[in-house]
Structure 1
Amino acid sequence: MTPTDRFAHLGSIVGSFMFVWAIFQQFFPSRLREYLEKYFQRVLTYVYPYIQIRFNEFTGERLMRSEAYTAIENYLSSSASTQAKRLKAEVVKNNQSIVLSMDDHEEVADDFKGIKLWWTSGELIIGPYLNHVFKEGRAINVKNRQRKLYTNSGSYWSHVVFEHPANFQTLAMEPEKKKEIIDDLTTFSQAEEFYASIGRAWKRGYLLYGPPGTGKSTMVAAMANLLRYDIYDLELTAVRSNTELRRLLIETSSKSIIVIEDIDCSLDLTGQRKKKEKREEEEKKDPDEKRPKEDSDSKASQVTLSGLLNFIDGLWSACGGERIIVFTTNYMEKLDPALIRKGRMDKHIELSFCNFEAFKVLAKNYLKLESHHSFSTISRLLEETNITPADVAEHLMPKTLPGDAETSLKTLIQALEQAKEEQKLKAEEDSKEEKSSDKEAKE
């Protein structure tokens, strides 16, 4: 007997059992049906070698859409479009993309480690295959989902669609430094099992520091686009207390970047600690003296340094995974050392003035140039002048479209020469003032 004949014979046996079972259900009392069902299921396991599981699309009392069902649907979308004849279509990503899934009573085949499997309206074989399906399905969902930019009003988040075009290819930075950051981010995003094995929450802190206009906000956008994460732009001054801060943290999702921009300006966290130490010293000197509370303290945000530290790496910071926390600052020296130590801000990234490597990226972005006879002059001037990538980009921006590369480069050289002269004059004035101060001090 050929394999085809054996399979047809097996199907005939199963069909006969199903027919007999239907008759029993219709004509026999419920007790007898229950009694016979036990033996029928036992016999069926010998002749029907498959296991079947059903995933409902909606679950729970509120009939929320099942994450497992969504993952399976995403996983099967590519196979369904080639194998199934009847498909369901769903428009996603701001009406710009279509996801196809199989219609009811359609069947899609799959292969997992040499084992043949079939899907029919959400039914499947169990085993390690399920973990594979969920993992791949969630990855497809992350790829297709519409990412969001959140901001807080008090203790509540609101959002808009995140559509910033920044990426590491167009970021004005040295290639080696850029690669180092990309590798670090990619390693983090794939390190769930590693973080679990060492007993740490799956999160990482980045401190971006440097003068204004060096690309700190653009770096955050590029990080989000690389990892396909949402961004939570946390405005600390709008948070009234540590309790509100903790509530905001709990409401953030996984696969997200929580960013506090210009943290040195957000709250006087270091100043809070100094004021507290000063009050404690005064109380030790004269414990009986009663001092009035400052009215401004009651009106302003009551978020403390301790509350922010707990937000970054306290117990509540582990209520979710795959989060990146980013601080940006123009003045790193103003920050409390406890806030930026390793373990909280794991990676410190300096974004400084524009150098020649960064300029070449900007020239390629704005002028589509990889070389030019004026590049040597620009390289020399950049070594002698402090100018931000934002200022360089502004001079490369064409005044009309299409732009004239020659004119833009001449404009940039003039700006660099002028900036060099101004910085030279300022240095001379600072030197004179310093000498004058030293002379007065000696007298």
Structure 2
Amino acid sequence: MILRLTLAAIAFAATLAAPLRAEIAIQEVTSPGGIKAWLVEDHNIPFMALEIRFRGGTSLDQPGKRGAVNLMTATLEEGAGDLDAQGFAAARDGLAARIGFGANSDEVSISVQALSENRAEAMDLLRLALTEPRFDAEAVERVKGQILAGLRADERDPSAIAARLARARSYGDHPYGSAGDGTTDSVTALTRDDVLAAWQGAMARDRVYVAAAGDITADELGLLLDKLLSDLPETGWPLPPPATLNTAGGLFVEPFPGPQSVVLFGHGGIAFDDPDFFAASLLNDILGGGRFSARLMSEVRDKRGLTYGIGTGLSVRDLSAEWMGQFQASNDKVAEAITVVRAEWARMAAGEITETDLATAKTYMTGAYPLRFDGNDAIANILVGMQMLGLPSDYPKTRNDKVNAVTLDDLKRVAARLLKPDDLFFTVVGQPEGLTSSE
């Protein structure tokens, strides 16, 4: 317990010691074995954060094996080398280290935080998990049971139902069209051999991205990476093709008992490398971003009391881009709320945006950005994400300049280009009054 508290205290101290600004010195590191990484070196606190990503994620699931990559990732910490699940957990906790594994539709992720005095032992433990996972039959079945319990709970959750329906309608048979954790049938059928195959296919050196921040030098990081990753397969399963989004607008209602309905809505979005991305981000902030002064929050919540909250966001993934939103409302208010959303979408598409709107959005976006760099773990996470997006290492220094360069004419042009109220598709799960499916 003392060691855990020590790690937590040092992690907290790191957030206080780190400057709340985006002007960080990023080193581009290449290990002796050729593994590339980014590093922000900071020796003020004896603590290091390491982030590893493997591109592909749950979208790499093979035909008939939906949920295999997710199951594999969830079982990585259930024993490695000569350590069973309990032994692995005890070793990790004894080192006051945090080792987390995760997966989404685009990546398998590993997050590690360790004290400098225990770094070597923590990395040895991580290497075992990456290169010698046990995948004991008992552990696989136990984790399967946990996943299946979650899937059964999702079958009774209107928000999960809405997400499932929206995915399937948007992307069909593409991996983006279904949840990466699989279905009750697909997960039940998975075997230990499927988990082993997913480990070999998803975690390979041809798709790895690495970032570190904290008390470690470039030379030390290079040696550490070779020891961690050199024994992984050189290549993995082929990455999936780009996703084709169903762009037809409309409405689908899935009956579900209850006093409220869950509503998801959206249409096509914009890629991160598009020159208009920053203008689109400012538009989103004005229309439905996280602020209470956003248009949709004001019109749907404050003026009409149709919902407690509503928001939109630009969803940018490796293989698709969407402009999405969601809200919940009483069944008797859903139809009116949808009408208001369409109207506000059309108003902004027509260019009803002011210089004040733009100035307020710029202040928020540029002011919030440096606050993301609030500790070694946050910095490492940002750096690995930048690499996967193909950004240059000086991006934190230039990002706010790109935001500030957007003009009102840019906003109006991009609004006309991207905002298509007739293309909005609404997925409603509940018993909304006066609404029927259009398809």
Task: Assess same fold via TM > 0.5.
Answer: no
TM-score by length of 1: 0.24
Greater relative contact order structure (CA < 8 Å, 6+ sep): 2
Judging by fraction of residues, say which structure has more helix.
1
Which is higher, the Rg of structure 1 or of structure 2?
A: 1
